[in-house]
Amino acid sequence: MSAWENTVELDAAVSLRLLSDARMGRVGFWTSDGPTILPVNHRVLDGRIVFRTGLYTSVADGTRGGTVAFETDEVDDHMLSGWSVLVVGRAEHVEETVDMAETFHRLNEPWAPGSRPVVVRITPSQITGRQFTRP
Amino acid sequence: MSAWENTVELDAAVSLRLLSDARMGRVGFWTSDGPTILPVNHRVLDGRIVFRTGLYTSVADGTRGGTVAFETDEVDDHMLSGWSVLVVGRAEHVEETVDMAETFHRLNEPWAPGSRPVVVRITPSQITGRQFTRP
């Protein structure tokens, strides 16, 4: 039940780099069932978080608009040290054809929606990061 | 930007076991600054999530009462497979002396609040889990 004893705030540039290097994070939003946190594979494009999800999923429903949280972290096996980055921002679905085509092109991905045709984009309004260690 | 292609729901018993075996998760709540997700080192006691945090931290503020989310996951390095468990429940601070003493005793931890004197307890109202793989 121990927790990090020492926490150091990371600046926005470092936090954005950690977010960009990570390949997986968690999106958080409020639904009619309460608060939800679910993992996704993300990328960062022009400082905005982009990921795909399925139609009619709770992630799709929760990112149609409005404010969401996005978190990524890395903690070592023994919990001796780690960091986390938290983004708060506005989520939207990329729906305009040219916009979607350019997004896929720039991510160097084939435009093949498959079973995850919804492209979610989060524009950060706030990025914070923290590094923690145990004494 | 790829996402999990196959998702299988896990039952509540499996989800609770994964949650209990994990040593680190993320608590999500809504603050005046918007939605927040932050990592903590947790334990599970009698089916309830318990963790410590510092006084006057946003985690302490966000878990004083009301509904929160708690998530834990494990995803392999290449994002080929993984699972996540999501709990929705009511958070409270353990404040009564006997209750706190028993909590520390049962966790086999010395009752030494140190720099993290706030003991947070989440009583789940809902536990869901999912396992994902890429084809």
Helix, strand, coil percent content, chain B, rounded in steps of 5: 20, 50, 30
pLDDT in tens, A37-75: 999 989 999 999 999 898 888 999 999 999 999 999 998
The DSSP element (H or E) to which B46 belongs, if any, is: none
pLDDT in tens, A6-35: 789 999 999 999 999 998 999 999 988 889
Question: CA of B35: which chain A residue's CA is closest?
Answer: A69
The more confidently predicted of residues B126 and B135 is: B126
pTM of the model: 0.91
Q: Which of A3, A52, A115 sits opposite B1 (nearest CB)?
A: A52
Count H helices and E strands in chain A, helices first. 3, 7
Q: What is the ipTM of this complex?
A: 0.89
The pLDDT of residue B2 is: 44
Kindly report the nearest CA distance between residue A50 and chain B, in angstroms.
7
- Give me B126's structure tokens: 């809902």
A79 with B126: Cβ contact below 8 A: no
A116 with B5: Cβ contact below 8 A: yes
